[in-house]
Amino acid sequence: MKRKYFAGSLAAIALLVTTVAPATATVGSRHTKPFVIALPVSLSGGNAQVGQEFLTGLKIWVDMVNNNTGLYAKRRAPKGLLGRKVKLIFDDDQSRSDEAGKLVTKYISQLRADFVFPPYGSGSTGVVASIFKQNNYALIGASAASESIYSAGFDNMVMAVSSSSKWFAALPDMVQTAGYKTVSIVTLNNPFTIDSERYLSKQFAGRKITVKGIESFSFGNKDFSAIWTKVKAQNPDVVILQAFGGDAVTAMKQAAELKISPKMWAVVAGAWRNDVFVSGVGAATADCVIGDQHWNSKLNTKGAKEFARAYAKKMGSNPLSGNAGSDGSAAWGFAGGQLLTEALDYLGEAGLKDQQKIVNFLKSGKVKETALGKFAVDRRTGINTATEPTLFQFQNGKRVTISPKSVMEAPVKLPCKPKG
């Protein structure tokens, strides 16, 4: 496996097999030794596209913090972190939790990286959480939204993104306002989607909306015909599909073939990228579908505008603006770095020597915003209680923000059936 580096022309760091503890530079070498951040990245496999986007966002943050530009143009702290240039080291975890676990262990026990970000997604982050805890590393969950993994008893975790219960929090009210009475849910079987389904089912029950069926599938499923046959028999007003990337495309195409035609379609997570979802299912099938997005170009919170400008310069398009083909994962990576900077600028070397202090600082309420929106976490679990995603709907071939009102471009269109 070839290791990747990102830090300008800084020399590669040799692997060290010594004690399991974050590496700290001595006073004499502080300004010549890079601040090493390591992470497993999904560069291949099912999470390759979102993994690459996440890495892009993290690289944008590294450029800013190493040069005190953009968000950090008026920063008083020296360039980099703790006066040392940040260097990213990353390897492809192939979208596999077991491979991610091996890499995290290597980064901590051999490389002795100053800081380690967990792998992409709730499932893999949950697998490696115990490794972080055992080795006294802080875990900033920059792409892990499942509430269950933060409720497992580890006190060294902080969620940077909006929690699973908030992803489609506005949907039950939309369903109720439209007068719809029945819902069917088709969901991927993983920690995040399980949490999301339980939350939505509870919200529907409280509104006396009947969930007629919950059908689950495994990652990489190729045949949804049996599931959609059940859903068609249920004849619900609303169908909610919880699936990522290729699974969402496969499921929606097969639903269209079987003429599944509810009054409302919602796709949790899987409709993020226009270049994947719309291109995959076709514009007619995508029309009317409601999806979630995790960064919005109209946000005015700390770092949002700077991230947007830097992303546009680097990638040639604005993330999640109109019909751009990006997703919120780049903003997640940027926000993860943003939180680390806030903590270490405040704590200094003490935060590196005892990384629990990083977590305690982020739980303290001193950080109010990130590029993703408002920020606050539960002090017991580390679950993000403030950051909220926005919802969009494909309307006549355009991706339109429909919630919340502060960034709404147009109201939700209901009833609305895809023409596919």
Q: State pLDDT tens for residues 332-350.
A: 999 999 999 999 999 999 9
Strands (E), 189-294: 210-217, 238-243, 264-269, 290-293
CB 286 within 8 A of CB 394: yes
Report the alpha-carbon distance of residue 19 to residue 68 in Å, rounded.
33
177 burial (CB, 10 Å; 0-12 / 13-18 / 19+) is: exposed
pLDDT number for residue 390: 85
* DSSP-derived 3-state class of residue 57: helix
CB 81 within 8 A of CB 35: yes
pLDDT number for residue 404: 87
Q: Which tokens in the block code for residue 381?
A: 């679990």
pLDDT number for residue 264: 95
Report the alpha-carbon distance of residue 320 to residue 349 in Å, rounded.
37
396 burial (CB, 10 Å; 0-12 / 13-18 / 19+) is: exposed
pLDDT number for residue 18: 32
Distance set, CA 409 to CA 100, 321, 390, 405, 412 (Å) = 39, 11, 11, 8, 10
pLDDT number for residue 69: 98
pLDDT number for residue 92: 98
CB atoms within 10 A of CB 82: 20
> Which residues fall within 8 angstroms of residue 35, CB to CB, at 6 or more apart?
80, 81, 82, 84, 85, 86, 87, 114, 115
Is the alpha carbon torsion for 291, 296, 299, 301 positive or negative? positive
Report the alpha-carbon distance of residue 324 to residue 275 in Å, rounded.
8
pLDDT number for residue 378: 96
Q: Which of 272, 279, 302 is nearest to 368 (CA)?
A: 302
Same fold, 4-162+298-374 and 166-293+389-407: yes
Residues (pLDDT < 70) of the chain are: 1-31, 274-275, 317-327, 417-420
CATH class for domain 4-162+298-374? alpha beta
pLDDT number for residue 94: 96
Q: Which tokens in the block code for residue 173?
A: 């009210």
pLDDT number for residue 85: 97
Report the alpha-carbon distance of residue 117 to residue 132 in Å, rounded.
10
What are the backbone dihedrals phi and psi of residue 228, each rounded to the nearest 5 degrees, phi first? -70, -30
Q: Which of 358, 329, 341, 354 is nearest to 158 (CA)?
A: 358
Q: Which of 237, 236, 246 is nearest to 269 (CA)?
A: 246
pLDDT number for residue 231: 98
Q: Which tokens in the block code for residue 109?
A: 């026990």
**What phi-psi label fits residue 120: left (phi over 0), alpha (psi between -120 and 50 degrees) or beta?**
beta
Domain ranges for the chain: 4-162+298-374, 166-293+389-407
Say whether domain 166-293+389-407 belongs to CATH 2.60.40.10.
no
